[in-house]
Structure 1
Amino acid sequence: MPLSERDNKLFEELIRNPGTTSHVLEKKYGLTRRQLGYSINKINDWLINQNLPSIERTRQGYFIMDQSIMTSLGAETENTPIESAVLTSEQRVQLIIMMLAGSEEELSLNHFTSELDVSRNTVLNDLKDAQTLLDNYHLNIRYTRKFGYLLEGREFQIRKLLITITYQVLQMHDGANRLKSITSIDEAGIAEYLDRIENVENKLNLKFTDEKVKTMPYVLILILRRITKGYSVNQFSIEYEELSNTKEYQATEEIFQDAEQIPMEERLFITLHLLTTNVYRTEFPTEEGEVPNLVPAIDNMLRLFEKSACIYLQEREQLMDKLLQHLKPAYYRIKYHLSETVSLQGSLSKEFKELHHLVRQSTGPLKDLIGSAIPDSEVTYITMLIGGWMKRQGESIEKKTKAIVVCPQGVSVSRLMFNELSELFPEFVFLDSLSVREFLNYKLDYDIVFAPTYLETSKKLFIAKAFLGREDKQRLRKQVMLELHGFMPQNIDVSELIGIIRNHAVIENEEALEADLQQYINQDDASSVHQHSEQPTLNLDELITPEMIAIRNNVESWEEAVWTSAEPLVEKEIITPNYVEAIFSYSQDPYIVISPNVAIPHASPEDGVNEVGMSLLKLDEGVNFTPDYRIHLIIVIAAVDKQQHLHALMQLMELASSETDRNRLIKAESKEAIYSIIQSYSSD
């Protein structure tokens, strides 16, 4: 009796992971205990027909498999029968695409039915499923009487698909034999390219992963075959200067040293394939030729992640090396759009889904470096690396309090609330700031909700004003902590804190430092209310006065826009020129764009602020901040602390969130008209 699609999936899972349990399989495939037992019995019947021992199950739900099963079915030899198990529909689709991309002959329905051993109707349905998958690559299956079934679309997309499908087919049971049968690639050709790849490894001082070494000979042969047939990637723009001085380019020249008339674009494409191939190890991770600025981008990404996940990553340099080893090939995959089309999020555990969300929010430095958004598949790999590292050191966000901020007053006010509450509760993991509509459809798990109005929710809800004064913050923190813990927690380990400080600084008097830290951490909350004098509350119209407003038709660049906006502050010595220079180190941070057409460039107080201030530049034609944002209103903010400017900033946020008044500002023709609108948002 042949194995069904479900039986075959379970059997492949057992071969790949014999240490799995009945409970895991039932949960993964949505089966009852009875359904799993029925499938195991069918698999055992099939094994007996193949003269192999059956699989035993223990009372604890573990499986005992004889080594002969692994040897007979795990080894891919010429003698292994291709039809040893029924193909799943997904596998049939993969083989159909492999035939379309790599077959040497014209293809008819008979070719598919013969290769897949299914009916014509099944093949026709599989062709429809194949087209659905090909839609992700912007490719089409076309049939003509003269040439049969053909794959049509940009050659670069076909190459990308070819690399992915070759890997997937090789993961099937007996996949190598199936691939050789479809493509007419012989053993001698495979052996020759394996030798060439080994030479490449020696030349580059690295070792590719076993999976990549297994796949690369087929990929290289199939690409060379398409080149000789006249298919070219020359429509795709590859930067010669970036790739031609790499060792991978030299390796490409070596691999194809005896091939004639391979265009430069094709050599660069093969170089890309080598550059985007994951490696098992590399002897010189920081040698010349690494991607410029990749290390600081990874470092900044980790810092953002640590802040958002409330995690302190130990042995950080080792994690950096692991991420660098993965992200160097990922850099080229992302930049040249060679990443997997399908996301791997479905394979993530519940906790890893939350980590994935936080990692994705932290990838801004990588996006800025590469100039392209980081695909979910790449974010998933990064998540797995960081998540595995956290588990190794016993860290988890599973037990941390996870919070969301819900605000109906627009994105700018919501973002301000999010930042304020993140500072007030540094021990919480803040997942998102949401509108009410987004909140109703939110998928991630969370523990508490902060909102300025009542919301219907089964989770703990804390009503918090959009703008929190100092006493409001103290009251809210005490309320939340008492509700969650029944007391105000003071669980900071001073010795652990000193250990962290010791890693980054020389401590001259450790005993005195410990005493001071103990006094600060354990100070009475009530008395601390009176230790600071109340700072003056400033309205928006007190900071952005007519003399702090400038109007221009246009400017040449974002840098010129910032300098022009900051000019009144510099002239009055509210800020120094160094402060404006410092702004540009933060200038690619998308959080300075607080609403459409409005940005608030700023730096830290220590970068050159003498007193609190704001200045506004209105550009009639706008200026590009990034390709995604065109800005008409630039408000430079100079803050001396975290308090004095906040009331005015809140008023600015409210103004920026009003599309009507925002447009009135952009269309205003005089400083007086702009100031009048600002005054309408400046009442206490």
Structure 2
Amino acid sequence: MLTTRTFQLANKLLIAKSPLRIKDLSEEYGVSTRTIKYDLEIVREWFKAQEQELHSQTNKGIWIECSDHDRMNLRTILSQFERSNIYPDQSVRIRKIILTLILSNEYITAAELSDSLEVSRNTILSDLNNVEEILCSWGLILERKQRTGYRLLGEELQIRLMFEYVIYSVLDDYEIYKMTTRITKKDREVDAGLPIEDKLKDVYIAIENQMRELYNPSLAPLIRLSDLLKILFRITFSVVRLNMGHTISSYRILDQSELKDDGSYYVASVMEKVLADQQLPLLEEEFLYVTGSLEKETEPVDAVDVTGKIIQYVSNIEGIDYKKDPNLYSNLLAHLSLRFHNGSLYLKEINPIEDEIKRNNPELFKNVQEACRRYIKQHNLLAQDSFISLIVLHFLVSYECTFKPKRNVRVLYVCSTGRGVARLIKNRVEKEIPAVDIVAYCSLLEVEEICEQEKVDMIVSVFPIETSIPVVVVEPLPGKRDIEAIREQMKSLIGAEADEINHLIEKREFQSSHDDTETISQEIILKGFEVAQALLEAFPIESQENWKNAFQMHVFLMVHRYYFDKQYDQYFHTNHPVLDSDEEIMIKVRSILKDKDLHVHDAEVLTLLQYLKKWK
């Protein structure tokens, strides 16, 4: 029988395009190479049962040789196999216990859980302590009643969010692809097995069939695939919980005449059909829950503010001033802005390297997690580990490229030429190889003394020298071949990884000294976004959406004109005097622009005024 880890290993082998090394797998899963070898024997037997051979070769690794079609079929078999044939380790047991509690109105005893999961009562009691801790993080309570059992208590919306998280936590991208394809392509043959509990299958299948039947390609621009998946699961949870007697809060019936777009009408039609078959009403709050509209009624998230606070918090804890890296700010802001705009009551991402990030960077993960809980959860958004791990990635990239110490190789240059020529050579070598620092130059007679004084790593000399320090012999005026010889010796001293870090940093330094069009355009876009948001907050729009779009476009173009010194001519302002009644608005606009470090002409401010006056 496969365990969770052997299942993951089998799946990893089917995904991998090249051989996997046992040492790498050992580090990834945090176990010994002996344990991995034992697991692979189990995996080998599983592949043998599927008439496939697991290949292995010393110094190469392990791999599966088969066609892409066979790989897809094997992944399908594996995904079907997973839910019923994996020996339940603790993580699997905890998931099953939580689902059992969610799907029951009655008390569940430890003995019943022990029987269903085929483990001892003491094991279940230990698992329940972990379950209680997880539920607490969601604002839910594990009620313990002596001689009666255990029951889940909490707000219905929180229970459903927990329900959603537990189901999502075991999905992979291949299963998601097949689930959405069955709906959008109306392809019943794309079978993935159902990544859902047996108690939910009948309802789930009915909903998927109804969504497939009513789906039209014209809905594609309105409903993204990720939203389609969310709708599919949320209708399932809604129906299951309603059958158990639990609503979000009220019993108000949905008035479908108020629906304004085809996407909402599609969701309502699916829900109406499925609920009618279950003899259940279509309630307004159930519809809002499924479509995500409940989230839209919560306090909006200021992505600019949250980004700055997360970076500040992590900087303080880590002792690294991440605020000095403009790329971290811009990349993280873009990520959070997009994520918050998409809308979700909790933040969940599909991240295949989540476990690896948490395992290799526990302290950074913990600090980013705390920052997210401080500055995101206050907005009624719950950031889950998969989402947090992607934020951690932004900080890891920033550290590697900007803050990780760059090691320079201390070089002594030995020659018989004048110091002026030596300085010329020093400048040339350091320009070609920035990681090299020529700390001194001397004659043959001074080598030993200078090496002691300067703690030299390497000697570059025009003469052969016998010493324990690495020596590169070059021409009196080093040529291209000499430069490459110095570079290779440097790599051997600092290692390939350090050399790569040096290369990345040197490349960034080189780019920063030139007009980097990508960075400039990115800065303009972000500045335009910040200014537009600040103005819209100060002057709320009460007119049509197209006016808001036009205004935002104008602000972006104004920022673009400012950066390229092509602002509106001041003549425009002098020939259009400002009314006293408009002066107050102009003062407020100037203050906002000044706060964003934009010192634009009055002609630009006057043009903005034309938009703002129309909204008053």
User: TM-score with structure 2 length normalisation?
Assistant: 0.49
User: TM-score with structure 1 length normalisation?
Assistant: 0.45
